[in-house]
Amino acid sequence: MKELILGGARSGKSRLAESHALSLFNRSKDLPKKMIYVATAKAYDDEMAERIKHHQQSRDEQWQLIEEPVELAKILKEHDHKGSIILIECLTLWLTNLLCHSEANILNSEKQKFIQQLKSSHADIIMVSNETGMGVVPMGELSRRYVDEAGFLHQELAQLCDRVTLVIAGLEQTLKPQ
């Protein structure tokens, strides 16, 4: 099962993703299961460090935390087992890391590797991302590229996923039912 959960900042998408992961974990008794939380955030300032700390404190010991800001495909490949539940938080932060990376072509390379690994994965994967295409068009070139890249990524992932959910004010709106 692959799921994409989209929403605005503070919409409740992370809480919903964790809830869906726990539901998957508790559902099947046949396989040994592992819950893996892949965090893509980098603490560039105190405010982001505080957000990361808040997320870390809100999770219990059932989660294995992996902090990976760039190489998501590598992490998916390493944990590609039936019974693995992988929650990726958050794809738009991952895109930011790639757009701001010193290596010029890393965005396309890592995105292609991620999509290919996602297509062949046996793990249950829940991806969280900010829906950025519902607001004003940004003025700066980098900001416009970020919104464009997020939109293209979301469209591609929505086609691959079994379920797509939009979260608004803590309420989930099913866009693509499982």
Catalytic residue among 20, 54, 55, 122: 55
| 69/144 Cα distance (integer angstroms) | 21
110 burial level (CB within 10 Å; 0-12, 13-18, 19+):
buried
DSSP one-letter string for the chain: -EEEEEE-TTSSHHHHHHHHHHHHHHH-SSS--EEEEEE-----SHHHHHHHHHHHHHS-TTEEEEE-SS-HHHHHHHT--TTEEEEEE-HHHHHHHHHT-SSTTHHHHHHHHHHHHHHH--SEEEEEEE--TTSPPPSSHHHHHHHHHHHHHHHHHHHH-SEEEEEETTEEEEEE--
Residue 125 structure tokens: 């994967």
154 is annotated as an active-site residue: no
Annotated catalytic residues are 55
